[in-house]
Amino acid sequence: MEIQRVVRDLVTTKRLGTLYAKSLRVVEDYKGNLSVALDPIGCKPGDWVITIGISAARYAAGNPNITTDLTIGGIIDHWSEEEWRS
């Protein structure tokens, strides 16, 4: 899994049915690279999260028919910009 930070929501009105109506978040890694993760937890911008990729992302979404390759798996209790970039 990767340590990422939630940046903002992402709205895709025109989307595949296999993404259902699941919330998508833009997340960034410690280098500032942006990705899009499905959020089954309900995160807000600024939250430090762990993201789950590969086939596990579909199962983490609660239903393997949900076609995600990145899903937020949890909110980190204690993290800081310093730890991240060290």
Q: What residues line the site for a copy of itself (CB under 8 A)? A: 1-3, 10-16, 18-19, 24, 26, 30, 34-38, 40-41, 50, 52-60, 65, 67-71, 73-78, 84
CA 34/CA 8 separation, integer angstroms:
11
Residue 82 C-beta: closest distance to a copy of itself, Å: 12
Residue 5 C-beta: closest distance to a copy of itself, Å: 13
Q: What's the burial of 37, exposed, middle or buried (CB within 10 Å: 0-12/13-18/19+)? A: buried
Cβ closest to a copy of itself, residue 45 vs residue 57: 57
Chain CA centroid to CA 70, Å: 6
